[in-house]
Amino acid sequence: MRFDWLVAAVAAFFMLSITASSTAHSAGAMAIGACAAYGYAFDYTDQARAETAALKKCAGRQCRLVLALKKSCAAFAIDGRKPCGAHGYASAKQLGAAQNSALKQCYQYGGKDCMIRAFACDAKG
């Protein structure tokens, strides 16, 4: 009887710790810059740190923040033949949807050979 209670308590603690850790690290960001430059950060504890990390990874190439992630995915697409030309970026709850939207944008802006350059998903994205 006591053993059952102990097992139940340990299981409950384990489930709570998993839930807490997945929601505690659910901030992310994507930055893009000139000629296919990019930087991203995911599973950070707060949005400001995620944005700083994304910009730092993209540093020196006219980078700007384009997406904030909160339990979602982001994708960045470029024209493979002209990396300094058309591009697209998007976020969605699922990676496939983000990639499809980014590719669609790239083609809409004149890309002829669009491809995914980068993608990221944060906690539960």
- The per-residue pLDDT for range 53-89, each reduced to its tens digit, is 999 999 777 999 999 988 899 999 999 999 999 999 9
Q: Give the model confidence (pLDDT) of 32-43 as tens digits.
A: 999 999 999 999
Residue 11 has pLDDT above 80, yes or no: no
Q: Does residue 45 lie within any of the structural domains?
A: yes
Q: Does residue 112 lie within any of the structural domains?
A: yes
Is-contact 124 26, C-beta < 8 A?
yes
Domain that holds residue 44: 25-121
Q: Does residue 102 lie within any of the structural domains?
A: yes
Q: Give the model confidence (pLDDT) of 79-119 as tens digits.
A: 999 999 999 999 999 999 999 999 999 999 999 999 999 99
DSSP character at residue 119: E
For 66-98, letters b (16+ CB in 10 Å) and e give bbbbeebbbbbbbbeeeeebbbbbbbbeebeeb
In the block, residue with structure tokens 């033949």: 81
pTM of the model: 0.76
Number of domains in the chain: 1
Q: Does residue 107 lie within any of the structural domains?
A: yes
Q: Does residue 15 lie within any of the structural domains?
A: no
Which helix (H) or strand (E) is 20 found in, with range? Answer: helix 2-24
Q: Does residue 9 lie within any of the structural domains?
A: no
Q: Does residue 1 lie within any of the structural domains?
A: no
Q: Does residue 3 lie within any of the structural domains?
A: no
Q: How far is CA 104 from the centre of its chain?
A: 18
DSSP character at residue 111: -
User: Rounded to whole angstroms, how far apart are CA atoms 63 and 44?
Assistant: 20
Q: Please give the backbone phi and psi of residue 116, each rounded to the nearest 5 degrees, phi first.
A: -75, 125
